[in-house]
Structure 1
Amino acid sequence: MSNHRQERSGMTKEMEGLVALVTGGASGIGAATADRLADLGAHVAVLDLAPESASKRHLAVRCDVSDDASVRAAVQTVVEHFGRLDVVVNNAGVGAQGTVEDNDDDEWHRVFDINVIGMVRVSRAALPHLRKSPAAAIVNTCSIAATVGLPARVLYGASKGAVLSMTMAMAADHLREGIRVNCVKPGTADTPWIGRLLEKAEDPQAERTALEARQPHGRLVQPDEVAAAVAYLASPAAGSTTGTALEVDGGMQALRLRPAG
């Protein structure tokens, strides 16, 4: 048992000495990812609008991904603090509800500005530093909504569809620079945003039950499960993995089970 624990301990340090930044890393999937990367040995910086909410084990930097100057200053702070940058996790984003009729132009611009162009700003600022890394990786948080039609999620799904396309194009552009680019596609995850949606529902428990039933494994995805997928894609252990969208969705994308019972 002791030897087994030692082997596992050695494996958990596969990101020893690497520096990672996680946008939106103060809560939900971002917070779980920041902790997971740190557990693997990385030095982690959390970029967030509310850095005071981040775990004290990480460098917390205020960053507004909708503001290019804020992004550039935050990335520079990370590099000056740690001396390098190896991994970028583009996780910051906002949700949106409604059919194609329900959101005005301003809301469409706002969601795309954060969910899509926010990733552009962070990646653009990070690339000069990633090019110097021996183990450079970018991991974008996409969503199953990019490839599955979900009711009242047209704006959110469209923004995540753009993230998916952007991930593949970035992977092609930067492969020969030694930078791997991948994304994760979570199903409905048990995050603060989903919690707020449930609070607004007429029957929160019924709504939660419906969301759980929508995924073949019958429950919400846990942030730690998404973090594990991000950590794999970010790690040098995935050195031959690029241009990949890894689904963490309880089978929602690919499985068609018969009704239970």
Structure 2
Amino acid sequence: MPASGRLAGRSAIVTGGAQGIGEAIVETFLAEGAEVVFLDRDAVTGRHTERRLSGSRFLECDVTDSGQVTAAVGETLTRLGKIDILVNNAGVAAYFDAATMTERQWDQVFVVDLKAVWLCARAVLPAMRAAGAGSIVNISSIHARMTEAGAFPYAAAKAGVLGLTRSLALDEGPRGIRVNAVSPGYTRTRLVQDYLDRQPDPAAAERAVLDVHPLGRIVSPAEVASVVAFLGSAQASGLTGADVVVDGGLSARFAT
């Protein structure tokens, strides 16, 4: 483990850390000097990521199951001795027709994208309160503030994450615990690439996406992870209740 870095001496738990943005967060945290335990329900991918990211520790966990979350947080405390940072990254992008979506499907989306954020926060708060310090970073989405047709009810769930973030920030601030959100836009993950590849003309679909971004490109998982690391570090000591948008400037422009 590096002896220096923004997160030197800090212990972190990252949900949904086996791939995509979560994997990039784990890798960045390790590079910044943190000790990291990451959770994921995909045991095969999780173990592969653990082997690739030397120094990380993987725990299989379904974050929608309160018992599993409690057990994972307990094991993390046993291994690391403390939890300074929680990153609630686990989520699912699921889209339905509001008129035909079933209650079961609604519950499945919200238990992953919103309830699990609370379950994980609830599990780590006693240790953070006892320490009188901590940082919780919730991964939301630009869909929480702006969305598109066909994104129901993902946008509603991610908006809920922002509301939860603000509420926790107010409640936990007096105890020295900061709570912030990061809202990525298009990010170069496998899921986004698979979406582009499924289009009738993948090259044209890619150009259309890039053309609406002021930077002329979409962000990488590492760029999102760097912002998460900042929020978890002492450099962000004055930030709580904030939502940091990482979208290549997409949400700064009118549609044309």
1:46–1:54 contact (8 Å) kept in structure 2? no
The answer to whether structure 1 residue 54 and structure 2 residue 49 are counterparts is yes
**2-structure distance, mates of 1:195, 1:168:** 32
1:120 maps to which of 113, 118, 121: 118
* Residue in structure 1 matched with residue 210 of structure 2 by the alignment: 212
**1:102–1:36 CA distance, 2 compared to 1 (3 A):** farther
* Residue in structure 2 matched with residue 41 of structure 1 by the alignment: 33
Aligned-residue Cα RMSD (Å) equals 1.9
Q: CA deviation at 1:198?
A: 2.8
Please list the CA deviations of residues 134-171 of structure 1 after superposition, one character each: whole Å capped at 9, or x if unmatched. 54100000000000122211211111010011111110
Amino acid at match of 1:182: N
2:6–2:230 contact (8 Å) kept in structure 1? no
**1:135–1:38 CA distance, 2 compared to 1 (3 A):** farther
- So what's the TM-score if we normalise by structure 1? 0.89
1:17 maps to which of 6, 9, 13: 9
SS of the aligned residue for 2:180 comes to: strand
Amino acid at match of 2:50: S
1:108 maps to which of 106, 109, 120: 106
How many residues are aligned here? Answer: 249
**2-structure distance, mates of 1:123, 1:113:** 14
> Which is worse superposed, 214-223 or 27-36?
214-223
**2-structure distance, mates of 1:102, 1:238:** 43
Amino acid at match of 1:122: C
**1:215–1:100 CA distance, 2 compared to 1 (3 A):** farther
**1-structure distance, mates of 2:230, 2:130:** 21
Q: CA deviation at 1:230?
A: 0.4
**1-structure distance, mates of 2:244, 2:161:** 13
SS of the aligned residue for 2:101 comes to: coil
* Residue in structure 1 matched with residue 139 of structure 2 by the alignment: 141
5 Å-filtered alignment, 1:61-210, equals 61-101=59-99, 103-133=101-131, 135-210=133-208
Amino acid at match of 1:157: A
Amino acid at match of 1:239: S
SS of the aligned residue for 1:140 comes to: strand
Please list the CA deviations of residues 81-131 of structure 1 after superposition, one character each: whole Å capped at 9, or x if unmatched. 111111000000001124434533222110100010011111101111112
SS of the aligned residue for 2:153 comes to: helix
2:233 maps to which of 216, 232, 235: 235
| Structure 1 spans left out of the alignment, 5+ residues | 1-8
2:15–2:40 contact (8 Å) kept in structure 1? yes
**1-structure distance, mates of 2:26, 2:114:** 21
SS of the aligned residue for 2:168 comes to: helix
**2-structure distance, mates of 1:179, 1:93:** 23
- So what's the TM-score if we normalise by structure 2? 0.91
SS of the aligned residue for 1:137 comes to: strand
1:85–1:133 contact (8 Å) kept in structure 2? no
The answer to whether structure 1 residue 30 and structure 2 residue 25 are counterparts is no
**1:120–1:151 CA distance, 2 compared to 1 (3 A):** same
SS of the aligned residue for 1:115 comes to: helix
1:95–1:193 contact (8 Å) kept in structure 2? no
* Residue in structure 2 matched with residue 4 of structure 1 by the alignment: none
Please list the CA deviations of residues 48-103 of structure 1 after superposition, one character each: whole Å capped at 9, or x if unmatched. 11221323320100110111111111111111011111100000000112443453
**2-structure distance, mates of 1:97, 1:133:** 40
**1-structure distance, mates of 2:221, 2:21:** 5
